[in-house]
Structure 1
Amino acid sequence: MILHDFLSFEALRLIWWGLMGMLFIGFALTDGFDMGVGALLPFVAKTDTERRLVIHSIAPVWEGNQVWFILGGGAIFAAWPPLYAVSFSGFYLAMFMILAALILRPVAIKYRSKRADPVWRERWDKALFVGSAAPALLFGVAVGNVLLGVPFRLTPDLMSIYEGGTLMKLLKLLRPFALLTGVVSVSMLVMHGAAWLSIKTDGPVKDRARRIGTLAGLVAAGGYALGGLVLAGFVDGYAYTGAVAHDGPSNPLYNEVVRQGSWLSAYAERPWIIVAPVMGFLGIAGAIMGLRAGRELTTFLCSKVAVTGIIASVGLTMFPFILPSNVDPNSSLTVWDASSSHLTLFVMLVGMAIFMPLILMYTAWVYKVLWGKVSEHDVNEHAEY
């Protein structure tokens, strides 16, 4: 218990905020290229053999990659229960659509080659495209809505209340800025998927992936820059009105919050966070140049840097806010008032310290074993995909 006493409540909240961001970045870096490859399938593969090549490039790893999504969801549930409760209450239909798409994708991978019928395979290829592109879009839309503020308020007993029916809640999420962030998300992951295909394939598939990935990178860079300009000029930020108890009770109504200024004022308060958007832009530039020049590993590493920077820039810009409310700013959830107890966070940290290295080592071993390009011989030898 000495370490428990040494790590303050404030420190544990900061650590778990950082770990939550790392888990989401890990999901985007791994399962993100799976989604990008699935979204590219109709455009880079013209024959059945080419489509099977594309699917074989992700078939052995997609299952392990989704572990990061499960870990992220579990971390929110245990470390940030108010965030889990409020977000699932308001985004229920959107969450259901994401989960349905994530279920559709592996079913398509497993079932498309069960029959040699071209119509059968074409339908499952379309399902794989939808199951990959839809989550990429919806995750980006969700991020845009978080930056804009979510229409919820908390009652004195901390029950979340949203206005309107379920369908109306979904339609309210499709705001122009949220759609812009959705486009950034899709184009970013398509670029990431193209970088993966440039490593795993050769021939026409690789050439098409390089061309489309270059275009996707340009769209991602332009959308990311435009999103920053919109945040600077048209979206109000959030701020505390007084002193904040960083080790205070987990009650969002304990502190007072107002909408004022811009989210980008965070860069004046904490100039060092500029490293995140710089990583985003430089990573995209490196990935584009790598795709054009045919530098496979460099392209993939630059794509990873871009994804990390773009996602990190959102969390660092919003800090300490996690889920702001645009109808009652005082109900906004932050790092300092939406966590589990001190003991819970500590016990979870011990578990994370034990199991995270094991997950990382196993993941590294899997990628080492499966490294190399997928060939037509591999496709013919493994007819299950």
Structure 2
Amino acid sequence: MGGGATRLYGTLTQTLGSSPLPLPPSHQPADTNLDPDFCQGSSGCPPDRVELLRQCKEALSDRPSRFHRTFVHLSDGDSAPSSPIRVMQWNILAQALGEGLDSFVQCPLEALSWARRKYLILEEVLTYRPHILCLQEVDHYYDTFQPVLAGLGYSSNFCPKPWSPCLDVEGNNGPDGCALFFDQSRFELLDNMSLRLSAMRIPTNQVAVVTMLRCRSTGRYVCVAVTHLKARSGWEWLRSAQGSDLLRQLQTLVQKHGSGPADDPTADIPLLICGDFNAVPNEEVYRRFTASPLGLESAYKKLSQDGLTEPEYTTWKIRPTGECCTTLDYIWYSQDSLRVDAVLDMPTEEQIGPNRLPSFSYPSDHLSLVCDFHFKEKE
């Protein structure tokens, strides 16, 4: 390593060497209760989808209109399947960071309040109704997302960061982390795990949630991962190392479970890897995923005319340091086993508006990515 990388490595070792391990996914803080806004009557149960949409509409009655986003349907001559698998990837912006550390200078404080944002976030999820939902910067898992989405038929797993910057914000709701939800009517849970990503065998502060699922309608297996890599310029080498560690662990997992004959549902288990990589498309970690022996492709390249180019942006915000408009978020998939049927397009600059994100009409500085997939027929 060069001198700069050596200093960074030393800093990493000192900073993370004594960090606590992530909380077990089953751990729920003792003082956490369901958000009272989402309780129904004396039962204390979360609302169903119809009631939840009604609550969102009522709570957001004074907000500007939502972005109008449409699905771009892809066709290579085959008819689209009747029941695609819908996957949603989204960094929802941790509440403590939005109000405390991220300094969105053009966003009114009222638009950053949890009282408003929670409805915007849930409305976005309910609008697209994904079968698989991958979220980053989740700091209201136990009191909001887990109980509310469980009431809608989702099972989930959550892994907090070992050290979350949310904890430095007064009045925080606990650490942020990654969460993976799946529709139990569509998938059966086979296995799940939480990973603390490493760099050069040193545990880092970034995590991933990995879930092995079986599709109830086809019997096919799919391995889904959600992650959030290290942010900021100067840490490109760390993101690359974290990405390599995740790829290595996923390859070991699918090889372990996918060693059966061709007609076995565990053979050639496809991967879906969603995340905020904090990396632009010309960064090393992106190239590592593209060149991986796992045969991965980025779904949102399908929006481009040549099928080779990522969108211009998945995040667009204004901070004291200036305006940031770039692509950091991805849905990677196994192109030999899965096919992309549709991709949700990006809002235009005009729709986003001059003050950028977040805003009264949108709760995060990152845009949600939504894709429809189906399993390719085995040869």
More strand by share: 2
Please indicate the TM-score interval, normalised by the length of the shorter structure. 0.3 to 0.5
Q: Greater share of helix residues, 1 or 2?
A: 1
Q: TM-score scaled to structure 2, two decimals?
A: 0.34
Higher Cα Rg, which structure: 1
Q: TM-score w.r.t. structure 1 length? A: 0.34
Structure with greater contact order relative to length (CA < 8 Å, sep ≥ 6) = 1
